[in-house]
Chain A
């Protein structure tokens, strides 16, 4: 049960991180001319951050907590 609650808390933290990343001031940092590997900075940031967030969520959900087993 502890493991279950910890995962829930980690996911809530990730949601908060996402809210931060996909909002004003952080988005403004990338809202500028220029490209990364040919892709405009803002687009590159949004998709990279999005992918990273999903990866972290997968990591939290799929990790078997040692303390619990």
Chain B
């Protein structure tokens, strides 16, 4: 079933399916329901990295030097871990500046220089052409081989070279048609090709499945698993050395390391990788999953490479079959027609995916950064007056696609047969690696200048051309081969593969070392020794500080001039078509809360910048700059002004940082204030309570004084005994009033901290004894027994004797108050306890409930029910005692239970700590 027509029909059916997928995705995108807005699709689309080179060439390389193919996939794994930092920044920059390609990115960074854009485009095209020819070679080779089924004949030995070349030309033209259909159907201001991305993601799946299928077939179908393949290889003399393949080859660790570096750079700077990773990225967050999914994809597609390589080497006699074709020839040799067809389709997927994305990316570069800047500058063409340029743009892009593919074909005819697949691919890798210094330097180093970038790119490209491209030409007989052996004009020092006598390295490592030295050296040296223009200064700031500038308006700060909205509209319409231009204007007007057409849009800096970035999306930054400059009267900013704006911007950032800090502090202060306010309100409430309680306490005695006085005044007939009794009551109540007022005065002094403390050494024992004597009358009146148990001698302590006396007096008078007349017994105990003196006053009164114990030291609180019980005192004594003891750093407390003895105790420290309670 592997006749030629079957293969052709299946191939076209497959390409048709791809187109259907792309068409569907485009439709969905137009309807606003994107199918590619998924991190999985994004990761799969990154799989465009695996081309026909991976599909066929990895096995070829593995068959010659074992693990030597792996750095090309390990490098990207290491690089992608850095994407979190690097790629995120590139994506953010590209979105803000509407970058359309790698050339656009670099040109934009270095002052929107058309010269740099053109140079990058040339390097990319020249560098990538061999890579494209590799794909053509792979597809036409595999096609030719499958056609010979069931025989296995290498194309190189067929002698039918014209046929093979015709196939390659056909493949090139068909792929060109597809790339045109995918990439240039219409002009999109956002330069997104959603259909293409969906198709690429699908192709990534197909090639992975095809490769896994053939890998499993070889490993488990032909052999009995991994162990079996390797065991048989170990038994074969010519293969044994490959099992420890890094041995013995001079410089092999160096080439391993350099290959890793090279592929680290390739995964970022191959035009097609930049296209899918940056330009086609629809959401920065997709990067997160891709960081581990894409390496996983590469791991999966490489697992079976070694078994297939060893399987092929074991299966075919040495030299009979090209190792690059093992993937296809092994199923064919085993008569697995379907599998062979699947492999062919897998290889086709790998090749078409690469070619489509690469040519679209290159055509965008050629159009926006090479052709348009030149055309727009040629006054003869009068492009400025043409009404609609969309057709011209699309035409240029289509032409570029065809041109690039034909160049690829040309290279294939001239040089393709001289190299294995892998070596061709590595030449391209080394070419795009030349972009690394100017891009990475450009996004992290403000100091890189336009001239520095030009110098670096030129130097790197020239060295690359001399050390890799010229030898490739020499091998394909364009140049005398003696050029490689003895150097140009017999100058051995200039031998392109052993420059300055640097020998013993493989060609790629050798070329990388010299080109990177030249590239980075020139970039840094020239950047440091040239001045920057205002434009460069501003672009450097926009790129390096991309995370500090927010929104699209970042570039508008740097513009000053006048323009008219209708002129800008005409400009946009010429490049995007009237419909798109209308939509762009409407969006902008909508964002400003205005109508278009209708309201007069003010063509201010922000608006002009907006139009320029929209235009840049279609024709690239440098061309857009030229076009916008042609319709607006722009006042050039001087370098000093730009610097000032940049400085202002960083000042604003600093201010906003400070502002943020201040607002945090303010917030903390507010919380504190709120707490303080709550406390104040609580205190206010307490004060109110205090005042009302005091008034109440004062009114009670006053009322009785007043009423008895009135009786005495109104009724002169009151007899003497009665009169005396009334006067006694009045005297008592007056005394009570005096006591109360004294205590309130004491309290307010204590609380405000204005109490005077006359501190002298006192003997606690004497104080207690004298207070007991002073209160003995109280005890006698109520017939309560007072006992004391005092030690012979206690240490003196320093305190105000009056205050301490007051405390003891309060406790004793309290105790006697609550004792039952006749049966009461009060005991005073003084002990020295661990650096403190403790005084206990206990009575056999009714006891105090736990609830009351908590509040008994508060103002105006008394045990028992204040409403029903007759008050026994002012309710201030214990509160005052508490303050006094607290002042001396001691403690006062009560232990009691209803029905049991109540003991009030306080302690005073013998040596006082510096009193913190002074203020209270």
Contact = CB atoms under 8 A, between A and B. Distances in A.
Interface string A50-67: 110111011001100000
Interface string A20-58: 001110011001110101111011001100110111011
B441 interface: no
A46 B67 contact: yes
Given A27-B253, A47-B303, A57-B295, A19 B243 contact: no
Contacts of A23: 253, 256-257, 260
Q: Which secondary structure characterizes the binding site on chain B?
A: helix
B81 A43 contact: no
Interface string B273-285: 0000000000000
A6 to B, nearest CB: 11
A19 B67 CA distance: 16
A54 B299 contact: yes
Given A40-B230, A57-B292, A15 B78 contact: yes
Contacts of B299: 47, 50-51, 54
B44 to A, nearest CB: 16
Interface string B655-676: 0000000000000000000000
B152 to A, nearest CB: 27
Contact of A39 (B66, B82, B230): B230
Interface stretch (B114-122, B221-229, B712-720): B221-229
Interface string B560-588: 00000000000000000000000000000
Nearest to B74: A22
B230 A57 contact: no
Interface in B255-310: 256-257, 260, 288-289, 291-292, 295-296, 299, 303, 306
B78 A19 contact: yes
Q: Which of B228, B256, B295 has the most CB of A within 10 A?
A: B295
A40 B81 contact: no
B231 A15 contact: no
Contacts, number: 104
B915 interface: no
Interface stretch (B52-60, B244-252, B896-904): B244-252
B227 A39 contact: yes
Contacts of A55: 292
Contact of B291 (A22, A27, A33, A57): A57
Interface string B144-181: 00000000000000000000000000000000000000
A33 B244 contact: yes
Q: Which of B66, B82, B225 has the most CB of A within 10 A?
A: B82
A31 B82 contact: no
10 contacts: A22-B260, A24-B256, A27-B246, A35-B231, A38-B225, A40-B234, A46-B70, A50-B295, A54-B292, A57-B80
Interface of B: 66-67, 70-71, 74, 77-82, 84-85, 225-228, 230-231, 234, 243-247, 253, 256-257, 260, 288-289, 291-292, 295-296, 299, 303, 306
Interface of A: 7-8, 11-12, 14-15, 18-19, 22-24, 27-28, 31-33, 35, 37-40, 42-43, 46-47, 50-51, 53-55, 57-58, 61-62
Shortest 3 CB-CB contacts between residues of A and residues of B: A38-B227, A58-B292, A15-B81
Given A15-B78, A38-B231, A47-B303, 18 more contacts: A15-B81, A18-B74, A18-B78, A19-B78, A22-B71, A22-B256, A31-B247, A35-B230, A37-B227, A39-B227, A43-B230, A46-B74, A50-B299, A53-B77, A57-B80, A57-B81, A61-B291, A62-B292
